[in-house]
Structure 1
Amino acid sequence: MTPIGESAADVVVVGAGAAGCVLAARLVVAGRTVLLLESGADSDALENRLSTPGTLDPSADWGLVAEVVGTGTRVRLPRVRAVGGTSLLQGGIALRGLPADHDRWGAVAGPQWSHQGQLPFLRRLEHDEDATSPSHGTGGPVRIRRARPDEHQPLHRAFLDGCAELDLPWCDDLNSQVTTGFGLMPLARHGTRKVTARSAYLTPHRHDPRLRIRPGTHVVQVRTRGCGVHAVDTVDAAGRPHTYEAGTVVLAAGAVGSPLVLMRSGIGDPEALRAAGRPVRHALPGVGCGVRDHPATWTTFSLDEAGRGPDPLWFQVMLRHFRAEPTDQGAPGAAAGDSTRGDAAPGGLPDFAVEVFHDFRLLPSATAYRRGVLVVSLLEPRGTGRVRLSRDAADPVGGSVELDYGDPEDVAGLLAATLFGHRLLGSEAIRGLGIDRAQLVSVAGHGGFAPPGTPRWFALRTHRPGADTIRRAATTSHHLHGGCPMGPSDDPLAVVDERCGVHGVPGLYVADASVMPTLLRSNTHLLALSVGERVAALLSTEAR
């Protein structure tokens, strides 16, 4: 067993988030030496503190704020600056992408990224305690389960009953190939404890001499020599510079961080680099482009029957549905009394998602269990965003994010989906919890508030928000992906090839949610883990 030296490693991984933890662990098991660089801390205390949803300590938050194009609204994008990354903060939701989403990816980048091509890596990462199909894994590091009936909160039971009351289809497994309908949320949980990338992948290997973790190490840039990668420049928490030699570097800094590292390294759109005062070392116009998210609305309401604390499974149920035909009986678009979009989701695929949970933003107050939240997300929006590099040397992030939630088709779709969500709240089952009024809130800032022109509280039976209200209330689902899109070398906007290698820069890779070139109609956590699994497998087979 060869221990790693201070500067020498077979692979340098930048970012110890979801994908970075996977890469480090799998490469070490394959016999490679790995240097894992992370800007934030490596803290058991932080992981324990974030085991339930709540407020992120500013010292562990990148402080990202996105500007919504067209409205000027600023939306917080909480991202954990620590070993484990945002897997420490996200709600433990373990949803796969839809098979059709992966097939669209495969059509762009090759069959290995299709559903069948990616399925072995999805199975490899999971240990699904409820598995009834060979499409699920049972030996992976990420334990997945669903809430048992005795764990259901009154709100979650009422949601399931309300969906049945509206004659919506039941989905036995939201991670199966048929995912339309309402069902139990797959959760990355071992008992009630959230399973993070840090605990599942990194903790079992952190004492392996082939692995060196460097927390408090901010990557400034990747250096190239000739046409290939040569070194990584960093600064520590005290501002001291250090350069690590590197023949293979994998960026796993996420949909915002990985494009920014490339741009700081002089790799990106020449015009944008010059505008930010950066030299152009390698032209790749697609860096930072095509960032996708799911615009969402939040509706809050009070409950007569409080949920149980102190550590429930917060996210237990979900509805994902589509409108195959505008006149379908029971279809959400028709049920809401409004059409979704003129070009309803093609191929009979899900169009939006609905979730309910208790308002964890009020923790640690017990009032969190007497307040409910309904979140409606548009799963196939047209609008895309981008990541830009900053000229401000004092900017700790080094860039900015723009998101576009204002496409008229998207606003119409989100309005119709939100109206259906409100109709679901008005079902007899949910109304039995004492719900008669609700508040459509903007969560763009640190708290929630009614968008301009919206009643603070409104009667669900009589009030219908309009398109302008929805446009101003639209916020993030925290599902950013894209920014370093995958594609062939003749695609002018492709950043990485089918092996996640950066076009034209041998030895430099990107392996996280930023590489997805098409839209994912799901949460992004398992996406990041599965990309890490695949790239680790690729690098493990390459000659040293």
Structure 2
Amino acid sequence: MKEANYDYIIVGAGSAGCVLANRLTEGGRHRVLLLETGGSDKSIFIQMPTALSIPMNTKKYAWQFETEPEPYLDNRRMHCPRGKVLGGSSSINGMVYVRGHARDFDEWQQQGADGWDYRHCLPYFKKAETWAFGGDEYRGDQGPLGVNNGNNMQNPLYRAFVDAGVDAGYFATDDYNGARQEGFGAMHMTVKNGRRWSTANAYLRPAMARDNLTVVTHALVHKVLLEGKQATGVRYEKDGKLVDVKASEEVILSAGSIGSPHLLQLSGIGNREVLEQAGIPVDHELPGVGGNLQDHLEFYFQFRCKEPVSLNGKLDWWNKLKIGVRWLLKKDGLGATNHFESCGFIRSKAGVEWPDLQYHFLPAAMRYDGKEAFSGDGFQLHIGHNKPRSRGSVYVQSDNPRQPPRILFNYLQHEDDREGFRDCVRLTREIISQPAMDRFRGPEIQPGVDVQSDQEIDAFVRQAVESAYHPSCTCKMGVDDQAVVGPDTRVHGVSGLRVVDSSIFPTIPNGNLNAPTIMVAERAADLIRGLAPLDPSTAPVEMDEHWRDRQRPGGARRAIA
């Protein structure tokens, strides 16, 4: 083994790791090593937004993890892809930019993540982004991350969906990442100049020109090196050879909500019983490692479309070729969007303070692998209950770093989660039945009009629901006995070791996870460097003041029993 020395070692060049690599090398003071198991992100299938389904389902670019049989989903094994490429999951995701509701971060603060409330997080969201329509007290205009609305809802189905939400008595929201999340409006995506604007493009590529950053790809990290309760470096494998590297300051795990707890466990840090069953010596007992696993589920609510305006007419090889050629030449058109250009955030019932249901609207009826669901025109809504109470785990199985961990989400274990999906079905039918959709609404394809009772909805959901690919919370931030890192992102009881990625979320936000993961890394970079935090925001948060007794601003629905 050969040795090399750095100030900081970052494990994982994903949504958080690329941010850290950029920020920690600013000014040239620190020598930083960034390790990534995957390789280049220069594939057209990664860079072209409309091709999003390809890298997610390709072994070269993503860990193709699979869960244990999920006991509350008829023992189905669920697909759990995670990025294995520069940019990590930001290079394989759907590019949807949702920060989450302000109360999600206040919830973090209440659970012991001091300083991570909305007032302190909002400045870092702003620091990260350049919003296509200019900055204000909520949106940034000087950050690395380009955010826009794709093709600005040119397809008439997008606007019809938003109008249907308003017809049903919900808010229209000009910016769900601004003062009010609740309501219907345009959806935002991390796309710039027609290209996927991953953290590799936004943060890493500029930093790679600096002499003090070393990036090593195709490097499989085996473990964190410990001397007593001090992390001193990591051991990784490249080209069949083991390499030990030392960090004079800190080791930072940014391997994601599956990779980071797994690597801690491989290093002898975790729940004693889990480590002993895997045959790994316990160097530091930390019971919460790998627990508290949370994710978002969703299903596709599909309808036929009465007018030939959906994208189903663009799924043949000839139209795909034309879209691809136009994108190659001009970086615009249907190739330059993820097609989720309108959305909705609503509360499932009266008594829920902030939105717990999320809609992604797609002007097509197709599967996530990009194949059509049926012949003819259609549209679909991806709908899910976003504040689950079910909890799962990511546990190491052996000391072999190539053996995937045991992943069990326990999806829909909690009755509140099952109730949330019943609300998804019934509220969606009501929204799509509004006059704004009359011109386009054809027969319901899925779930089907015969699915009506609680029992019928539950059975449908168990078979149809899919992961929204938002695993999180497995190295939770806090101060209780299940917390893995403190509010400073340092691992409890081990000096020189941090975790910075979506695994440290105490609870899952109401929205897609790329934006809050980038925010966490931006704020953690200041903590690591000992910089004063950005001044907290005073921007107001708009809520439905009558949330206790009504499900939507246009009228009461059902109160919580």
Q: TM-score, normalised by structure 2?
A: 0.83
* Distance (Å, rounded) in 2 between the aligned partners of 1:492 and 1:154: 52
Per-residue Cα deviation, 1:276-306 (whole angstroms, up to 9, x for no partner)? 1111000000000111112222223343424
Contact kept? 1:296, 1:378, Cα under 8 Å: yes
- Residues paired across the two proteins, number: 497
1:426 equivalent to 2:433? Answer yes
Match of 1:187, SS? coil
> Paired residue for 1:48?
47
1:154 equivalent to 2:151? Answer no
1:389 equivalent to 2:396? Answer yes
> Paired residue for 1:29?
26
Contact kept? 1:386, 1:401, Cα under 8 Å: yes
> Paired residue for 2:86?
83
Per-residue Cα deviation, 1:410-435 (whole angstroms, up to 9, x for no partner)? 11121121222133333343343252
> Paired residue for 2:197?
195
Contact kept? 1:88, 1:196, Cα under 8 Å: yes
Post-superposition shift, 1:109?
3.1
Contact kept? 1:354, 1:421, Cα under 8 Å: no
Root mean square deviation of aligned Cα: 2.5
Post-superposition shift, 1:148?
5.7
Match of 1:406, SS? coil
Give ranges in structure 1 of 5+ residues lacking alignment.
326-343, 441-457
Post-superposition shift, 1:120?
1.6
* Distance (Å, rounded) in 2 between the aligned partners of 1:118 and 1:392: 37
* Distance (Å, rounded) in 1 between the aligned partners of 2:50 and 2:89: 12
5 Å matches for 1:17-166? 17-31=14-28, 32-45=30-43, 47-48=46-47, 52-55=51-54, 56-67=57-68, 68-70=70-72, 71-131=74-134, 133-147=136-150, 149=152, 151-166=153-168
* Distance (Å, rounded) in 1 between the aligned partners of 2:409 and 2:348: 30
Distance of aligned partners of 1:8 and 1:371 in 2 relative to their CA distance in 1, 3 Å threshold:
farther
Post-superposition shift, 1:118?
1.3
Structure 1 stretch displaced more, 288-297 or 105-114:
105-114
Distance of aligned partners of 1:262 and 1:152 in 2 relative to their CA distance in 1, 3 Å threshold:
same
Distance of aligned partners of 1:110 and 1:401 in 2 relative to their CA distance in 1, 3 Å threshold:
closer
* Distance (Å, rounded) in 1 between the aligned partners of 2:433 and 2:263: 48
User: Which residue among 514, 520, 533 is the counterpart of 1:525?
Assistant: 514
* Distance (Å, rounded) in 1 between the aligned partners of 2:164 and 2:154: 14
Per-residue Cα deviation, 1:506-540 (whole angstroms, up to 9, x for no partner)? 00000001111123112110111011111111222
User: Which residue among 238, 257, 260 is the counterpart of 1:258?
Assistant: 260
Per-residue Cα deviation, 1:200-244 (whole angstroms, up to 9, x for no partner)? 0011121211111100001110010022012211112x3321111
Match of 2:381, SS? strand
Match of 2:94, SS? coil
1:537 equivalent to 2:526? Answer yes
Contact kept? 1:13, 1:24, Cα under 8 Å: yes
Post-superposition shift, 1:364?
7.4
Distance of aligned partners of 1:473 and 1:373 in 2 relative to their CA distance in 1, 3 Å threshold:
same
* Distance (Å, rounded) in 1 between the aligned partners of 2:436 and 2:80: 34
Structure 1 stretch displaced more, 167-176 or 467-476:
467-476
Distance of aligned partners of 1:415 and 1:300 in 2 relative to their CA distance in 1, 3 Å threshold:
same
Contact kept? 2:425, 2:457, Cα under 8 Å: no
* Distance (Å, rounded) in 1 between the aligned partners of 2:212 and 2:401: 35
| Percent of paired sites with the same residue | 27
Contact kept? 1:256, 1:401, Cα under 8 Å: no
> Paired residue for 2:246?
245
* Distance (Å, rounded) in 2 between the aligned partners of 1:401 and 1:235: 28
1:226 equivalent to 2:225? Answer no
* Distance (Å, rounded) in 1 between the aligned partners of 2:336 and 2:379: 14
* Distance (Å, rounded) in 2 between the aligned partners of 1:178 and 1:42: 38
Aligned residue type for 1:80: G
Contact kept? 2:297, 2:468, Cα under 8 Å: yes
* Distance (Å, rounded) in 1 between the aligned partners of 2:461 and 2:525: 42
* Distance (Å, rounded) in 1 between the aligned partners of 2:427 and 2:194: 31
> Paired residue for 1:470?
461
User: Which residue among 322, 327, 350 is the counterpart of 2:347?
Assistant: 322
Distance of aligned partners of 1:200 and 1:8 in 2 relative to their CA distance in 1, 3 Å threshold:
same
Distance of aligned partners of 1:225 and 1:394 in 2 relative to their CA distance in 1, 3 Å threshold:
closer
Aligned residue type for 1:400: I
Aligned residue type for 1:35: L
User: Which residue among 478, 482, 490 is the counterpart of 1:501?
Assistant: 490
Per-residue Cα deviation, 1:93-113 (whole angstroms, up to 9, x for no partner)? 111121111111122335421
Structure 1 stretch displaced more, 349-358 or 261-270:
349-358
* Distance (Å, rounded) in 1 between the aligned partners of 2:136 and 2:259: 36
* Distance (Å, rounded) in 1 between the aligned partners of 2:125 and 2:450: 41
Match of 2:184, SS? strand
* Distance (Å, rounded) in 2 between the aligned partners of 1:35 and 1:494: 27
> Paired residue for 1:445?
none
Aligned residue type for 2:93: Q
Distance of aligned partners of 1:460 and 1:208 in 2 relative to their CA distance in 1, 3 Å threshold:
farther
* Distance (Å, rounded) in 2 between the aligned partners of 1:177 and 1:290: 30
> Paired residue for 2:317?
none
1:485 equivalent to 2:476? Answer yes
Aligned residue type for 1:316: E
1:16 equivalent to 2:13? Answer yes
Post-superposition shift, 1:30?
3.9
> Paired residue for 2:326?
none
Aligned residue type for 2:34: L
> Paired residue for 1:408?
415
Contact kept? 1:300, 1:438, Cα under 8 Å: yes
Match of 1:290, SS? coil
Contact kept? 2:182, 2:345, Cα under 8 Å: yes
Post-superposition shift, 1:365?
7.4
Contact kept? 2:171, 2:182, Cα under 8 Å: yes
Distance of aligned partners of 1:81 and 1:418 in 2 relative to their CA distance in 1, 3 Å threshold:
same
Structure 1 stretch displaced more, 422-431 or 283-292:
422-431
Contact kept? 1:19, 1:532, Cα under 8 Å: yes
